[in-house]
């Protein structure tokens, strides 16, 4: 019987997952073993009865997988079950490679867009460029397709073809590309170069298996070119492998220093990780690490190590607060489970995990921890929720209007118009106030629709009046004053104008000079990077921040 075979197969997975959470405690707690045995028996009965008697036919495999996922959802958000169909992200992280064509994808408005093709890949060699919109993949429309689903469609076995139909600004009709997938090595060093003489910059977007060699290569190149200070930008870097974070930390930290401790319920998780090699970068070369609320996990480990050992200054905004260890474990039938098996503690003894990480309704017992700690030089630092920078730099907050302009792709559309009108322009582009005025005029005269809070309140008022059958003359009088309080041009604030100038400069610079052009533009306007450069140019303040001088 199909149900019985499926139950037998997945019972092995169920038992395995349960054992992961009880571990060696089974030996010392017979009650746990009894409860597991009783639980499996109960589950077996429920599964058999429902599968056999439910009014409609049930697919046994998807039914039991739903049960496994439901069980794991009672724990933390990071423990998850993976079937072969949804494990590509895990595989990329652990191997550092995938079968694909070498495209970084993003959503511009509702369009699946090429952020940049990777050099030396099928996409890079074929002539696909940043800004191209992918409208079909193997003949299937990308309209309404989510980003992850589109990426999975483009990836596939090496040697097989994938056909992309692309719409490009300035071209009539679509362009067809037939690409042969290759082994693509993840490159999470998006940019590496000098901001100004002797001050280097590395943008790292992840910590996969391949990121260590790429990072080392970039850092070594900067050192050989006369590096005196370096900025490592980890903003919106969600983390990745602990091993990658440790190896990159090794490049900056003296051999033998404690980097990270991990603690868990099972003996194997209670480990201390020390730097294993002499640093490749001299301690006289000053270091700034930029973080924000999107910096998590391995990013926080690296930033925390740098802060606790007073190796560099942390700049930006408080990090996400994810200090949990995940172990990826293979299960029968090509399944995987990613399990939270421990917690990270950085050199000062801090737990960087934010306190409330459990799913609502979880019965896991909370652990109360100290919150005040000290760095190597005795500076006060805090635990219990991410890394607080040594120097906090608030970035301008985007208004709803700016967010809508992003979502509806208006910056990109205008950038194409601007570059067509200025064919002689070179990156990085510096825009004038007149360019912002032209952009706003473009928005006002376009089909862009924006519902401000005032506009929404006005619309609701009119609907309420009409629904309650107020006299027509009252409604008409209120409608008559609409133009007096609502003008799209008046919605743009002074802060919006500054953000528009910055964003447009970056978009246009990227159109002209690709990734290099974009970052050269960022260096001129990014407040966090500019503050970091100031730190590296002011040796006294840098050392005062780290507690080396009073």
Mark whether 297 and 420 lie in a shared domain.
no
Predicted local confidence at residue 482, as pLDDT: 65
SS3 category, 341? strand
Task: Read off the pLDDT band of 5 (50, 70, 90).
Answer: low
Q: Where are the alpha helices (DSSP H) in 55-154?
A: 60-72, 88-95, 122-126, 147-154
E runs forming strands in 101-248: 103-108, 111-117, 133-137, 140-141, 161-167, 174-180, 182-185, 189-196, 199-204, 229-233
Out of 87, 249, 297, 299, pick the active-site residue. 297
Looking at the DSSP bridge assignments, the partners of residue 245 are: none
pTM (2 d.p.): 0.81
pLDDT of 461 > 70? The answer is yes
Buried b or exposed e, range 314-333, using 16+ CB within 10 angstroms: bbbbbbbbbbbbbbbeebee
CB 393 within 8 A of CB 531: yes
Residue 147: inside a domain: yes
In the chain, how many domains are there?
4
Catalytic site includes residue 88: no
Residue 222 and residue 178 share a domain: no
SS (H, E, C) 393-415: CCCCCCCHHHHHHHHCCHHHHHH
- Full strand arrangement of the beta sheet holding 189-196: 189-196, 199-204, 229-233, 286-291, 313-316, 391-392
Q: Would you place residue 363 in the very low, low, confident or very high pLDDT band (cuts 50, 70, 90)?
A: very low
Cα-based distances in Å from 38 to 19, 32, 35, 45, 510: 14, 10, 5, 11, 61
Cα–Cα distances (Å) from 300 to 292, 346, 380, 400, in that order, read 10, 9, 17, 30
Averaged over 525-537, what is the pLDDT? Answer: 96
| Structural contact between residues 13 and 332, judged by C-beta atoms closer than 8 angstroms | yes
Is 338 contained in some domain? yes
Residue 170 maps to which CATH number? 2.30.42.10
Tell me which residue of 316, 315, 313, 387 sits closest to 346, measured CA to CA: 387
Q: Are 204 and 211 in contact (CB under 8 A)?
A: yes
Pairing of strands 324-330, 189-196: unpaired
Q: Average pLDDT for residues 447-465, to the nearest whole number?
A: 76
The catalytic position among 247, 322, 335, 343 is 322
Tokens of 24: 């060696």
Residue bearing tokens 């000062």: 348
Is 308 in the active site? yes
82 band by pLDDT with thresholds 50, 70 and 90? confident
Q: Is residue 434 part of a domain?
A: yes
Residue 126: CB atoms within 10 A of its CB come to 16
Instruction: Name the residue among 218, 214, 241 with its Cα closest to residue 231.
Output: 218
Looking at the structure, do residues 362 and 344 belong to the same domain, yes or no?
Answer: yes
State the chain's maximal CA–CA distance in angstroms. Answer: 82
Does residue 88 form part of some domain? no
pLDDT (tens digit per residue) in 274-289? 999 999 999 999 999 9
Q: Catalytic pick from 250, 308, 310, 435?
A: 308
- Given pLDDT bands bounded at 50, 70 and 90, which one contains residue 368? very low
**pLDDT 10s digits, 43-60:** 889 988 998 899 999 988
362 and 310 housed in the same domain = yes
Per the listing, tokens 């500019």 go with 530
Nearest to 249 by CA among 240, 241, 239, 259: 259
Clarify whether residues 195 and 178 are in a common domain. Answer: no
Confidence grade of residue 2 (pLDDT, cut at 50, 70, 90): low
pLDDT computed for residue 485 by the predictor: 59
238-246 mean pLDDT: 92
Q: How far apart are CA 284 and CA 278, in angstroms?
A: 14
Sequence-distant (≥ 6) Cβ neighbours of residue 300 within 8 angstroms: 239, 291, 319, 320, 321, 322, 323, 344, 352, 386, 387
Give the HSE-up count for residue 177: Cα atoms under 13 Å, Cβ half-sphere.
Answer: 25
Cα distances from 214 to residues 49, 173, 233, 243, 535, in angstroms, run 54, 38, 15, 15, 26
CATH code of residue 288: 3.90.226.10
Query: What does the pLDDT look like over 464-523, one tens digit per residue?
Result: 877 877 777 777 777 776 666 567 777 788 889 999 999 999 999 988 998 899 999 999
209 and 181 in a common domain: no
Reported confidence tier of residue 10, pLDDT bands at 50, 70, 90: low
Residue 399 structure tokens? 């208004």
Looking at 127, 152, 185, the residue that finishes a domain is 185
pLDDT of residue 414: 93
Count CA atoms within 13 Å of residue 418 on its CB side: 30
**Does residue 89 sit within a domain?**
no
Task: Answer yes or no: is 135 within a domain.
Answer: yes
Query: Do residues 139 and 245 share a domain?
Result: no
> 498 near 278, Cβ under 8 Å?
no
| Domain finish residue from 365, 392, 419 | 392
Look at residue 85 and tell me if it is in a domain.
no
pLDDT at 374: 94
User: Half-sphere exposure of residue 44, counting CA atoms within 13 Å on the CB side?
Assistant: 16
Please, what's the b/e burial string for 465-488 (b: 16 or more CB within 10 A of its CB; e: otherwise)? beeeeeeeeeeeeeeeeeeeeeeb
Q: Is 124 helix (H, G, I), strand (E, B) or coil?
A: helix
Strand ranges (DSSP E) for 307-410?
A: 313-316, 324-330, 336-345, 372-374, 380-382, 391-392
Q: What pLDDT does residue 79 have?
A: 87
- The beta-strand segments (E) located in 271-323 are 271-274, 286-291, 313-316
- Same domain for 348 and 220, yes or no, is yes
d(CA 255, CA 537): 28
Per-residue tokens: 371 = 């919150």
295 shares its domain with 212: yes
Inside any domain, residue 170: yes
Among residues 350, 365, 392, the one where a domain terminates is 392
Q: Percentage of the chain with pLDDT > 90? A: 45
Pair 203, 343 in one domain: yes
Residues 348 and 213 placed together within one structural domain of the fold: yes
pLDDT in tens, 18-36: 555 444 444 445 677 788 8
Instruction: Express each pLDDT in 287-321 by its tens digit.
Output: 999 999 889 999 999 999 999 999 999 999 999 99
297 is catalytic: yes
Inter-residue contact 203 to 104 (CB < 8 Å)? no
Considering the domain architecture, whether residues 443 and 347 belong to the same structural domain is answered as no
Domain that holds residue 528: 396-550
């Amino acid at each position: 019987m199909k149900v019985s075979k499926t139950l037998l197969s997945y019972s092995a997975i169920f038992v395995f997952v349960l054992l992961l959470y009880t571990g060696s405690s089974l030996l010392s707690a017979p009650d746990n073993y009894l409860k597991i045995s009783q639980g499996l028996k109960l589950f077996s009965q429920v599964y058999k009865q429902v599968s056999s008697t439910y009014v409609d036919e049930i697919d046994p495999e998807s039914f039991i997988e739903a049960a496994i996922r439901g069980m794991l959802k009672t724990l933390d958000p990071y423990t998850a079950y993976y079937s072969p169909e949804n494990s590509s992200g895990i595989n990329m992280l652990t191997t550092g490679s995938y079968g694909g064509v070498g495209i970084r994808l993003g959503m511009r408005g509702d369009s699946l867009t090429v952020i940049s093709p990777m050099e030396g890949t099928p996409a890079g060699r074929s002539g696909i460029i940043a800004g191209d919109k992918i409208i079909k993949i193997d003949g299937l429309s990308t309209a309404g397709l989510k980003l992850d689903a589109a990426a999975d469609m483009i990836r596939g076995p090496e040697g097989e073809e994938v056909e992309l139909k692309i719409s490009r600004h300035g071209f009539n009709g679509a362009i067809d590309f037939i690409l042969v997938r290759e082994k693509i090595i993840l490159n999470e060093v998006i940019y590496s170069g000098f901001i100004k003489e002797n001050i280097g910059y590395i943008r790292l977007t992840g910590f996969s298996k391949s990121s260590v060699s790429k990072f080392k290569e970039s850092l070594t190149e900067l050192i050989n070119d006369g590096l005196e200070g370096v900025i490592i930008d980890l903003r919106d870097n969600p983390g990745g492998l602990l091993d990658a974070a440790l190896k990159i930390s090794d490049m900056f930290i003296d051999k033998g220093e404690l980097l990270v401790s991990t603690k868990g319920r099972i003996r194997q998780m209670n480990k201390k990780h020390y730097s294993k090699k002499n640093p490749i970068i001299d301690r006289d070369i000053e270091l700034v690490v930029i973080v924000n609320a999107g910096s998590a996990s391995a990013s926080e480990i690296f930033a925390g190590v740098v802060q606790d050992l007073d190796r560099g200054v942390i700049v930006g905004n408080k990090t996400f607060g994810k200090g949990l260890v995940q172990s990826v474990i293979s299960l029968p039938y090509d399944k995987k489970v990613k399990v939270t098996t421990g917690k990270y503690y950085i050199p000062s003894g801090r737990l960087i995990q934010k306190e409330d990480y459990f799913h609502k309704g979880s019965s896991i017992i909370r652990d109360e921890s100290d919150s005040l700690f000290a760095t190597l030089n005795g500076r006060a630092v805090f635990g219990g929720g991410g890394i607080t920078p040594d120097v906090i730099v608030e970035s301008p907050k985007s208004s709803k209007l700016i967010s809508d302009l992003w979502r509806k792709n208006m910056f990109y559309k205008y950038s194409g118009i601007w570059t067509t009108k200025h064919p002689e322009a070179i990156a990085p582009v510096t825009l004038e106030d007149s360019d912002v005025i032209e952009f706003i005029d473009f928005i006002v005269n376009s089909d862009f629709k924006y519902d401000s809070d005032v506009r929404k309140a006005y619309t609701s008022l009119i609907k309420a009046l009409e629904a309650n059958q107020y006299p027509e003359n009252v409604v008409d009088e209120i409608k008559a004053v609409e133009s007096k309080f609502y003008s799209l041009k008046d919605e743009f604030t002074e802060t919006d104008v500054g953000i528009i100038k910055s964003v447009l400069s970056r978009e246009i610079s990227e159109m002209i000079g690709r990734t290099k052009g974009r970052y050269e533009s960022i260096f001129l306007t990014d407040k966090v990077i500019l503050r970091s450069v100031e730190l590296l140019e002011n040796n006294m303040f840098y050392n005062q921040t780290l507690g080396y001088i009073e």
